[in-house]
A and B are shown apart, each in its own frame.
Chain A
Amino acid sequence: MPTLIFEKRVDDIPKWLPFVTSMGSVIIAFVISGFILWLLGGQPLVVGQYFFEASFGSWAVFSDTMVKATPLILVGLACTVAFKMKLWNIGAEGQFYLGAFAASLVVLVPLVPDGTPKPIVLLAMMLMGMLGGAVWGLIPGYLKAYFNINEIITTLMLNYVAIQWNNFWIFNSFSDAGFQMTPSFDKSAWLPRLADYARQYRFLSGMTLHLGVVIALVATVVVWWILARSRWGYEIKLIGDNPLAARYAGLNIKQNVVLVMMFSGALAGLAGMAEVSGVVHRLQERISPGYGFTGIIIAWLAKLNPFAVIPVSILFGALILAGREIQPSGLANMLQGFILFMVISSDVLLRYKIKLVRPTVSHEV
């Protein structure tokens, strides 16, 4: 019987290997899902094709995929930043809600007078969105830094507080005729969409992709720059890798915990702003179908690389979109689960070399 031997890698991992294993994991996840579908009497290839059509089949649906990917990129970045410092912020969902809430206040209160030019309204909404998310990050960050309270618990719990907070204000103050939503915002608070230019360019009609995607891409570059090139990024990496060494090097760890949680929250809050201003154009109950939680998976799959967050977010955006199109809708969730499972399992290939050894009499040289 030949046996499999796992040998710990001592040499460097080849640069291409993480990419290949991640891609391989996604493919295997699709194959397994297809197999299950086949067992249940479905036609995997037809479903697969439908899946693809529904998310990448035309420019119009690809635009929809990108609309889904936009908040995912931002929350993925939010988690990436926090995870780099080994701060387990699983509160991006709540920070997203607070971002959406605070950005909406600009219109609902209103914080800017009627007739304010669109760019200024949008800028105010962005700032408020980031502020809302940052405050929701500040609370667990401060508790972690100064009272050593586990951020996993506080961020998780604050998610539910945030959802109820939104509901309270929606129903209490801003409800549209008693429904679980506010009235639609004035057009000046809408992020420009591709469809807005359909009069000049016919092919853009119906495309819902909005300026938020540009915000997300810019944020990606900013996060990359901070992590890879800035002094602060160096401090984040140092604290993340070895807090004792960071303290020894004279870094203020408490302050950085608070700042990083706020930055992470601000990114998630920006995602909330993009969603209310770019997609639904109002504040409503259940504004997020769990983007904040998906962001955790995305950051992990992207191996905390900001640029890798983009393709991973597009994949998950496509899954969300396709999941709405096909029945049973749980199929997309199953696929997500398999992908995560496969990618985490594939880590073993990065850490070990696997050899097939046939039982021969071994001669030592």
Chain B
Amino acid sequence: MTNPYAVEMIDIVIRFPGVLANDHVNFTLKSGEIHALLGENGAGKSTLMNVLAGLYKQTSGTIKINGQPVSFNSPKDSIAVGIGMVHQHFMLVPTQTVTENILLGLDTPRFILNLKKYDQKVLELQEQFGLRVPPTSKIWQLSVGEQQRVEILKILYRGANILIMDEPTAVLAPQEIDELMMTMRSMTERGKSIIFISHKLHEVEQVADRLTVLRKGVATAEGRSMKGVDKAELARLMVGRDVIFSVSKSSSEPGDTVLQMDNVSAENDKGIPALKNFSLNIRAGEVMGIAGVSGNGQSELAEVITGLRKCRGNIKINGQELSNQPPIAAIKSGVAHIPEDRHHVGSAPNLSITENTIMKNYKQEPIGNGWTINLPKARIHARGLKEQYDILAPNVRIPARKLSGGNLQKVILAREITTQPSLMVAMQPTRGLDVGAIEAIQRLLLEQRAAGAAILLISEELEELLTLSDQITVMFDGQSMGTLPNDDTINIQQIGLMMTGTSTN
């Protein structure tokens, strides 16, 4: 008698100090199926899967693999029974070839590396699953999608039958996502079983056979069949209330040009051209969305405007030249910035909420008072923002690192909005936030638009760009692939093509 389940996780409890990450969760994976694990950030998806991958140990509960109870003490044990995890962040050596990366850490070959022979083996494996990537290429030469394929190959090469894929689509362009889904299908046809972690409803709908939904560590749906489940219901299971999917946007009349960029070029940190003759205009009261797969010059675009990066070309804000000026010049001429990395750039983790809210206005009355900082006034200011922006924190004296991502983002947004910007540069403002926080942040951005600010919205979420933008510029390889008005005529397929560098003139 064969056991239909590849994985059975029964009554799993995972407790961290002060947190109950998983509360009596049951999870089963049938052989040859794709089982989606859905949930907001911090719902406990990754924790549950890290237990299965042998990275953590459950506090209580049983795990069975193919019917046999197992106990993992390290990832090695997990790999030994055929489990492999494709992490969100790739673990590859950039200067080595595909084959070398796949062989890394294995016991064979031991002394003599007959690369040619192994290249052939890797090719055979690729043929089997339709995961094409040249075995002799170096990792740094590959696109993100190709690198992901290497990660998958690495796991398949180690003989994994159960694949855990942690948000594999987060880094991919639309076409690459489609290819990935086809790969996933072909893998299940060859007997592999896949756990697909995601918080994107439409992808889950598209590819999964069954799904389990986690919310705050509790399974709100356990192994439900995908048949007859609709998007709105999934969202309710995830967040526990009905989600309004589109923040409504009022119509607005754009005013004068606020940002004018002409032929701006810049290099990234490695000295490689990242922004190539990029031109852009944004008018007051207008949201300009920048679409593109990450790493195509978006970070550099935000940085040249805010004075954090040197460039060539002209950047004018309200007619004033700002290229190659220090960041303070941009701040003074009314540029606010929601940085991509809210922990490492947007905030000082060990300073209090108060100290984080005054970063941009500590020199101004009433907080800045000549040489001194008026602490009581600063606290009043911070408390006011906490109230107004609904920042959840016990008080304003706690360090910023104790805030959740959504609340930290609200602190940053509150601070930036307080400067009454004429241009708001918002980079991935909602990434990694839960649905409730996303909605709040999007509302605030639209309020700024209504107040007459020009907004540069850089996002990888096409849905977000379509919701908020008046126009969408697509970036690929540091260049503008064109600007489309965001109205009824907009064609998502076309944007997808432009994102991957296909010109559609």
Contact = CB atoms under 8 A, between A and B. Distances in A.
Interface in B357-413: 358-360, 362-363, 368, 370-373, 375, 398
B326 A250 contact: yes
B17 A241 contact: no
B365 to A, nearest CB: 12
B248 interface: no
User: Which interface residue of B306, B308, B344, B371 has the most chain A CB atoms within 10 A?
Assistant: B371
A233 B362 CA distance: 12
Interface string A155-167: 0000000000000
A238 B373 CA distance: 14
Q: Secondary structure at chain B's binding surface: helix, strand, loop or mixed?
A: loop
Contacts of B207: none
Contacts of A362: 59-60
Interface in B1-58: 13, 17-19, 24
B355 interface: yes
Nearest to B375: A229
A248 B351 contact: no
Contacts of A247: 308, 327
A254 to B, nearest CB: 10
B349 interface: yes
Interface in A186-245: 229-234, 237-238, 241-242, 244-245
Contact of A11 (B18, B328, B332, B344): B18
B348 interface: yes
Contacts of B17: 7-10, 353
A241 B355 CA distance: 11
Interface in A113-128: none
B337 interface: yes
Contacts of B440: none
Interface string A1-31: 0000001111110000000000000000000
B424 to A, nearest CB: 14
Interface string B316-333: 000000000011101110
A252 B325 CA distance: 12
B355 A248 contact: no
Contacts of A10: 17-19
A364 B308 contact: no
A250 B307 CA distance: 9
Given A245-B359, A247-B308, A250-B360, A229 B373 contact: yes
B298 interface: no
A23 to B, nearest CB: 24
Contacts of A153: none
Contacts of A8: 17
A111 interface: no
**Closest 3 interchain pairs by CB?**
A250-B328, A10-B18, A241-B348
Interface of B: 13, 17-19, 24, 59-60, 306, 308, 326-328, 330-332, 337, 339, 344-351, 355, 358-360, 362-363, 368, 370-373, 375, 398
